[in-house]
Amino acid sequence: MDLANDLQEELTCSVCMDYFIDPVTISCGHSFCHLCLLKCWEDTQTCFSCPECRGGCELKDFQINLRLKKLAIIGKQLRPRLLKNSIGGGLCGWHQQDLKLFCQQDGSPICMSCFNSEAHRHHSVYPIEDSADFYRGTFQELLNHLWQEMEQVQALLSEEREKIRTWKEEIQIWRQNIVIEFEKMHQFLDEEEEKQLEKLEEEEVANQQKLLQNEERLSQQSHNLQLLITEMEEKCQGEDMTLLQDVRGMLFRSSAMLQQWPEACSLKLSVCSVPGIREMLSRYAVDVTLDPNTASPYVIVSQDRRSVRIAETPPDVPNHQNRFDNCTSVLGSQAFTTGRHYWEVEVGDKPEWEVAVSYEFRGQKHRMRFLQEEAFSLFSTHSGNGDGPCVTFPGSRVPVRRVGVFLDYEAGILSFYNVTESYLIYSFLPTRFFGPVRPIFSPCLRYGQHDQEPITICPVNNIIL
């Protein structure tokens, strides 16, 4: 048995694992079927290597090794005889007889006594030679299928390796594109920042010049008024004849001086538009709704709890410890203690409204306005000026129809944006929040008028671009 296996091993191609067919021997001394060697090298243009030892060799016009070919043919014919002799020489462990038969059910050689026994009476039993030939053919057929599958796997493996190489190249290209695009964006933002700062500096110089000129003019006017007042007081305290001297000139100068009404210098700053600010802030968009239990009796909260407006007639509402009694405010339902959050409020053409963020506290009753340390507010009036602890819009003719509110709790940042024109309205100096904060909304009651237009909190799907 060992002799048959050793002979087969020496006459077997290491590529197809079968007896040599038209074997060739390469420079390293190893031999292969001619067709197997060509298949191994069909995708190689240079650097040919031995399929077994991977040693380098040159592609030549190989000659068939006729001696090895004849030995392979002889070995293939000789092996069944060697196996027959080997198996035939074996003895049955039960009966000590030659093993000349093969039981298909048990899958093992048996002797004649085993064949005649009750255990194998209904089994399919064949001569050893016939069974060996049958299974040899079966194995050969399976080998053909396995080699076909091996070829498919190898082809797919080559494709996948090529995909890996191509994918790495594509990833590298995308990585470079991302870096280039963000470099462009950084350059654009740097240039935009420099342009805005230059514009601000120009306006600073121009407004400073206006202030200085107005200061000089008012100082001169104050000096002239003081001289005229002193002269007139002296005349009033003097004798009658002295008083009446140049009385017409004194009246004329007084009238002319009174017509020079003092005027304050009006200063305006251009808004600072930040490209792409809404796209960046929309990543932190949250759904904010109104808490009806905190709504003032002077306002009406919509069914979806997103809009609030002034009530024509104060509705009957249940008493609640957190309800605003003497103002037109309502709290948001959400309280924030961490993270970044962004929401938008549609204010439309309303001349007066309030959007704020306040610390969460109980018992808001009878509070007309929040204390400075309790709330951070953006408040619009008909004149555009701030009121109380609230901030004012920068001098701008651009109307604000939608306000964006950005809260970064950990950084202590609260900023208000004009969403329509993409510019910052106001940002409170970084602070340290010491408790839960909640949004506040007020449609504001205009003195002498009844404005029933609502302010509306925008849903998230109306914010995310």
Residue 363 CB burial class (10 angstroms; 0-12, 13-18, ≥19): exposed
Could you tell me the residue range of the domain that residue 413 belongs to?
277-458
User: Which among 59, 84, 109 is the end of a domain?
Assistant: 84
CA angle 304, 305, 311 (to 5 degrees): 110
Would the pLDDT of 99 be above 80? yes
319 and 404 assigned to the same domain? yes
223 inside domain: yes
Which residues, 6+ apart, have CB-to-CB distance to 366 below 8 Å?
Answer: 325, 326
pLDDT class of 394 with cuts at 50, 70, 90: very low
pLDDT class of 59 with cuts at 50, 70, 90: low
The pLDDT of residue 333: 93
- Sort residue 367 into left (φ over 0), alpha (ψ -120 to 50) or beta: beta
237 and 375 assigned to the same domain? no
pLDDT class of 390 with cuts at 50, 70, 90: very low
323 and 406 assigned to the same domain? yes
Q: Which residues pair with 342 in a beta bridge?
A: 285, 406
124 inside domain: no
Would the pLDDT of 269 be above 90? no
Q: Which CATH number fits the domain that encloses residue 44?
A: 3.30.40.10
378 and 233 assigned to the same domain? no
What mean pLDDT do residues 59-72 have? 78
Q: Which has the higher per-residue pLDDT, 162 or 323?
A: 162
245 and 303 assigned to the same domain? no
92 inside domain: no
The pLDDT of residue 386: 39
For the chain, what is the radius of gyration of the CA atoms? 50
Would the pLDDT of 83 be above 60? no
What mean pLDDT do residues 47-63 have? 74
97 inside domain: no
The pLDDT of residue 84: 53
The pLDDT of residue 395: 46
Would the pLDDT of 392 be above 60? no
Would the pLDDT of 153 be above 80? yes
The pLDDT of residue 385: 42
172 inside domain: no
240 and 312 assigned to the same domain? no
pTM (predicted TM-score)? 0.55
Of 41-50, 259-268, 359-368, 453-462, the least confident = 359-368
Question: Coil, strand or helix: which one is 23?
Answer: strand
Q: Which has the higher per-residue pLDDT, 183 or 379?
A: 183
Percentage above 90 pLDDT, the chain: 19
379 and 421 assigned to the same domain? yes
CA angle 185, 189, 194 (to 5 degrees): 150
Would the pLDDT of 11 be above 70? yes
213 inside domain: yes
Parallel/antiparallel/unpaired status of strands 353-359 and 23-25: unpaired
User: Which among 198, 233, 259 is the end of a domain?
Assistant: 259
pLDDT single digits (tens) 173-202: 999 988 988 888 888 888 888 888 888 888
Of 30-39, 70-79, 125-134, the least confident = 70-79
The pLDDT of residue 398: 58
* Residue 77: both structure tokens together: 């014919």
107 inside domain: no
Q: Which has the higher per-residue pLDDT, 2 or 7?
A: 7
315 and 453 assigned to the same domain? yes
State how far the Cα of 71 lies from the Cα of 11, in Å rounded to an integer: 7
pLDDT class of 120 with cuts at 50, 70, 90: confident
pLDDT single digits (tens) 199-257: 888 888 888 888 888 888 888 888 888 988 888 888 788 887 777 888 888 888 888 88
The pLDDT of residue 85: 53
Mean pLDDT of the chain: 81
352 and 255 assigned to the same domain? no
What mean pLDDT do residues 318-328 have? 77
Would the pLDDT of 45 be above 80? no
State how far the Cα of 185 lies from the Cα of 197, in Å rounded to an integer: 18
What mean pLDDT do residues 66-82 have? 78
**What's the number of domains the chain is made of?**
3
Of 54-58, 214-218, 227-231, 299-303, the least confident = 54-58
Angstrom CA distances, 367 to 242, 244, 324, 327, 388, stand at 63, 62, 7, 7, 13
79 and 182 assigned to the same domain? no
What mean pLDDT do residues 68-88 have? 69
307 and 445 assigned to the same domain? yes
Q: Of the candidates 128, 100, 104, 131, which has an alpha carbon nearest to the alpha carbon of residue 113? A: 100
pLDDT class of 439 with cuts at 50, 70, 90: very high
136 inside domain: no
The pLDDT of residue 72: 85
405 close to 413: Cβ distance less than 8 angstroms: no
249 and 286 assigned to the same domain? no
pLDDT class of 382 with cuts at 50, 70, 90: low
Angstrom CA distances, 343 to 196, 284, 292, 349, 415, stand at 26, 8, 19, 19, 11
The pLDDT of residue 263: 76
User: Which among 259, 289, 309 is the end of a domain?
Assistant: 259
What mean pLDDT do residues 3-30 have? 82
Q: At what angle do helices 247-259 and 128-237 cross, to 10 degrees?
A: 170
**The tokens 């609260």 sit on which residue?**
414
Q: Which has the higher per-residue pLDDT, 169 or 48?
A: 169
Q: Which CATH number fits the domain that encloses residue 390?
A: 2.60.120.920
